[in-house]
């Protein structure tokens, strides 16, 4: 949902602008009159070129000093800038465009991290070397030996640079890292030598055997590189965690926590390293100190990212993290932002897509108070993002334990959620409606749910969700709309056990919409999941109110076996008549 902090904010001022200022100052402070006259003549000559402004070469005596020190040099540099830009354009027009796309890795380090930033150096160099390894594998599969050799040489240079730059930046190295560095450089040299030999071999059978050798060397090299990178990153993470753990300064802790959050955005492997090295413990320590209250949202956001891996969830349970989250959610003295970030952590650790979260036994002890706090947060949310985080946590909890639905019914959550759907400030995206309809679908297995939904005009809302359409057309939004349609149909099918719900659905023309979704692939974005859910809902409604169907619809969509109706609708082409 959020993006990591912009890397551009960490970069220093542009060196080119500083050079221009210094160079201009140096030229303008010329001492002897003869040098000044020379500069003046250069300015005159440049301005006489096309596009330049003409300057009288014999200024008045009173103007000579100011013209020599300011006007001539300044105008000369302005015109020179225009001329060099034209020259650059000519060079670019004459430069051939490479089809190999290999120059990217050479340019990627331009303007990279300074010598005092070993962590960013590791990430950037690591990305470049990983890209080179992948490209070498592609060229090897194509038997392009010239490219394989040149890229192997370049890979060796990158690996050597990473080792030397990191050693200089960190100023110390463990014995284990030294051994892996040695193995890595040996394999790089071996790869360069063997690929050079392959260039001189013409026999296809010999080349085929050597190709297997190159492939094995490349694989071993990749393993050594992965080991080295993991050791170096582990070392840097340990330093960050120690800094958070030992710091009592809010500004130092804020900076270090921000760096840790940036690392979590690099993927699951780094999240595992952070969890193993005590990152979860250190962050919950921050969340238990009142002096660090302004940092709670940032620390919780980092925890939510770490808990996408099993190691993070296990560490959370070991330090009674669920109890800490419950305390934050139920404490109204905390800001809405803090409670929303705590809800995000709850949503992450109860995700039904992660098998290891289902064994979070400590959550059941605090479930009722957490659900109560989340419902309140949904009701009082001041923005769509806060409502989304709270509703996502509730939706996941309904998968996590069936007793959560009982608690939601007691809290009159259906009314709160359905009222929120009419508030565009809180519910304005298909992602949020996906969470709401998920909660309704899981609650609809309870008999009491049907009467509550009818009382709050929920059938009309579900009918609207069957017509959910994406606004932007992005794959993520299209997928969200499909989920909303599918879950709305599932909810309708479950609720239609109650004849009152079925009759209300027929009165609102839900059957017509379900038939349209079944027969028109474009209405459901050709989704098979939506089709199956709509067929099931239509058959449930037809069992209660068969008079709402035409004979053709009944014979094709209701009477046959479900699989036969599915095959008929999934192969159906739209009529444009």
| Ordered DSSP codes for 192-221 | HHHHHHHHT---HHHHHHHHHHHHHHHHHH
Q: C-alpha dihedral over 114, 116, 119, 120, to 10 degrees?
A: -10
Size (the chain), residues: 577
End-of-domain residue from the set 228, 248, 282: 228
Rounded to the nearest 10 degrees, what angle do helices 430-443 and 447-455 cross at? 130
The Cβ of residue 350 has, within 10 Å, a number of other Cβ atoms equal to 27
Residue 521 in domain: yes
Is residue 548 within 8 A of residue 502, CB to CB? The reply is: no
Determine the pLDDT at residue 79. Answer: 64
Residue 290 in domain: no
Residue 233 in domain: no
Between CA 434 and CA 428 the distance in angstroms is 11
Assign 11 a pLDDT band (cuts: 50, 70, 90): very low
pLDDT 10s digits, 259-314? 999 999 988 999 999 999 999 999 999 999 999 999 999 999 999 999 999 999 99
In eight-state DSSP terms, residue 354 is -
Residue 367 in domain: no
Residue 373 in domain: no
Burial class (CB within 10 angstroms; exposed 0-12, middle 13-18, buried 19+) of 220: middle
End-of-domain residue from the set 191, 210, 228: 228
Assign 80 a pLDDT band (cuts: 50, 70, 90): low
Q: Higher-confidence residue: 178 or 358? A: 178
The Cβ of residue 163 has, within 10 Å, a number of other Cβ atoms equal to 22
Which spans in 381-443 are helix H?
384-400, 403-410, 413-420, 430-443
Determine the pLDDT at residue 116. Answer: 53
pLDDT of 173 > 60? The answer is yes
Is residue 484 within 8 A of residue 529, CB to CB? The reply is: no
Rounded mean pLDDT, 316-322: 92
Lowest mean pLDDT among 172-176, 463-467, 470-474: 172-176
What's the chain's average pLDDT? Answer: 80
Assign 82 a pLDDT band (cuts: 50, 70, 90): low
Residue 483 in domain: yes
Q: Higher-confidence residue: 234 or 64? A: 234
Determine the pLDDT at residue 336. Answer: 96
Is residue 289 within 8 A of residue 327, CB to CB? The reply is: no
Determine the pLDDT at residue 241. Answer: 95
Lowest mean pLDDT among 87-96, 410-419, 496-505, 515-524: 87-96
Determine the pLDDT at residue 221. Answer: 92
Closest CA to 569 of 513, 529, 511, 520: 520
Between CA 137 and CA 135 the distance in angstroms is 5
Q: In angstroms, what CA-CA distances link 215 with 65, 200, 202, 208?
A: 71, 18, 19, 11
In eight-state DSSP terms, residue 335 is -
End-of-domain residue from the set 212, 228, 244: 228
Task: Name, in order, each residue with C-beta under 8 angstroms of 394's C-beta and a sequence gap of 6 or more.
Answer: 371, 374, 375, 378, 404, 408, 413, 435, 439
Rounded mean pLDDT, 360-384: 91
The Cβ of residue 483 has, within 10 Å, a number of other Cβ atoms equal to 21
3-state secondary structure of 143: coil
Rounded mean pLDDT, 398-425: 91
The Cβ of residue 190 has, within 10 Å, a number of other Cβ atoms equal to 17
Burial class (CB within 10 angstroms; exposed 0-12, middle 13-18, buried 19+) of 264: buried
Determine the pLDDT at residue 171. Answer: 67
Which spans in 51-108 are helix H?
64-66, 72-94, 104-107
pLDDT 10s digits, 205-231? 888 888 888 999 999 999 999 999 999
Percent of the chain that is helix, strand, coil (3-state, to 5): 75, 0, 25
Determine the pLDDT at residue 439. Answer: 95
Overall number of domains in the chain: 2
pLDDT 10s digits, 279-293? 999 999 999 999 999
Between CA 449 and CA 426 the distance in angstroms is 23
Per-residue burial over 368-404, b = 16 or more CB atoms within 10 Å of its CB, e = otherwise: bebbbbbbbbbbebeebbbbbbbbbbbbbbbbbbeeb
Between CA 144 and CA 136 the distance in angstroms is 9
pLDDT of 40 > 50? The answer is no
Rounded mean pLDDT, 490-504: 90
| Structural domain harbouring 567 | 445-576
pLDDT of 325 > 90? The answer is yes
Closest CA to 153 of 103, 201, 192: 192
Residue 374 in domain: no
Task: Name, in order, each residue with C-beta under 8 angstroms of 264's C-beta and a sequence gap of 6 or more.
Answer: 270, 271, 274, 302, 305, 306
Residue 61 in domain: no
Closest CA to 376 of 360, 393, 362: 393
Between CA 378 and CA 189 the distance in angstroms is 60
Give the up-direction half-sphere exposure of residue 520: CA atoms within 13 A in the CB hemisphere.
12
Long-range (24+ apart) CB contacts under 8 A made by 242-250 are: 244/282, 244/283, 244/285, 244/286, 245/278, 245/281, 245/282, 245/285, 248/291, 250/291, 250/292, 250/294, 250/295
Radius of gyration of the chain (CA): 33
In eight-state DSSP terms, residue 12 is -
The string of DSSP codes covering 326-382 is HHHHH-TTS-HHHHHHHHHHHHHHT-TT-GGGGG-HHHHHHHHHHHHHHHHHHHH--
């Amino acid at each position: 949902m959020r993006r990591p902090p912009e890397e551009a904010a960490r970069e220093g001022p542009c060196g080119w602008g500083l050079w221009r200022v210094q160079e201009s100052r140096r030229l303008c402070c010329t001492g002897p009159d003869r040098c000044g006259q020379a500069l003046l003549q250069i300015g005159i000559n440049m301005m006489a070129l096309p596009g330049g402004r003409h300057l009288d070469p014999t200024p008045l005596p009173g103007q000579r000093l100011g013209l020599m020190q300011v006007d001539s040099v300044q105008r000369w540099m302005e015109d020179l800038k225009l001329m060099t830009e034209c020259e650059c354009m000519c060079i670019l027009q004459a430069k051939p465009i490479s089809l190999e796309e290999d120059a990217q890795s050479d340019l990627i380090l331009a303007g990279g991290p300074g010598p005092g930033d070993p962590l960013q150096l590791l990430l950037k160099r690591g990305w470049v070397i990983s890209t080179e390894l992948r490209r070498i594998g592609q060229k090897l599969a194509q038997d392009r030996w010239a490219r394989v050799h040149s890229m192997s040489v370049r890979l060796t240079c990158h690996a050597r640079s990473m080792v030397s730059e990191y050693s200089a930046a960190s100023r110390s190295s463990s014995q284990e890292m030294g051994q892996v560095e040695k193995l890595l450089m040996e394999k790089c040299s071996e790869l360069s030598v063997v690929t050079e030999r392959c260039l001189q071999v013409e026999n296809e059978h010999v080349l085929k055997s050597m190709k297997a050798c190159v492939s094995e060397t490349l694989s071993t090299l990749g393993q050594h590189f992965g080991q080295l990178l993991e050791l170096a990153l582990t070392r840097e993470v340990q330093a960050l965690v120690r800094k958070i753990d030992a710091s009592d300064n809010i500004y130092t802790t804020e900076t270090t926590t921000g760096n840790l959050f940036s690392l979590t955005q690099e993927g699951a492997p780094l999240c595992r390293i952070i969890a193993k090295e005590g990152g979860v413990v250190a962050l919950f320590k921050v969340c238990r100190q009142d002096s660090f209250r302004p940092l709670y949202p940032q620390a919780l956001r980092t925890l939510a990212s770490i808990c996408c891996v099993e190691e993070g969830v296990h560490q959370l349970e070991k330090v009674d993290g669920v109890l800490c989250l419950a305390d934050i959610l139920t404490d109204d003295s905390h800001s809405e932002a803090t409670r929303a970030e705590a809800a995000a952590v709850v949503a992450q650790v109860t995700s039904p897509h992660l098998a290891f979260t289902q064994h979070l036994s400590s959550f059941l002890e605090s479930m009722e108070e957490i659900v109560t706090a989340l419902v309140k947060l949904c009701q009082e949310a001041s923005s769509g993002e806060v409502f989304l985080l709270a509703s996502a946590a509730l939706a996941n909890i309904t998968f996590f334990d069936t007793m959560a639905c009982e608690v939601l019914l007691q809290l009159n959550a259906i009314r709160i959620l359905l009222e929120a759907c009419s508030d565009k400030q809180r519910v304005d995206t298909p992602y949020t409606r996906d969470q709401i309809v998920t909660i309704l679908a899981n609650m609809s297995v309870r008999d009491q749910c049907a009467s509550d939904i009818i009382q709050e005009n929920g059938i009309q809302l579900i009918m609207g969700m069957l017509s959910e359409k994406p606004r932007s057309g992005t794959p993520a939004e299209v997928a969200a709309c499909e989920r909303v349609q599918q879950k709305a149909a599932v909810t309708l099918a479950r609720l239609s056990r109650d004849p009152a719900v079925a009759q209300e659905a027929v009165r609102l023309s839900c059957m017509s919409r379900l038939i349209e979704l079944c027969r028109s692939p474009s209405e459901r974005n050709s989704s098979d999941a939506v089709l199956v859910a709509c067929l099931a809902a239509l058959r449930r409604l037809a069992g209660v109110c068969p008079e709402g169907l035409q004979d053709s619809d009944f014979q094709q969509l209701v009477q046959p076996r479900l699989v036969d109706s599915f095959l008929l609708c999934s192969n159906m082409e739209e009529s444009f008549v």
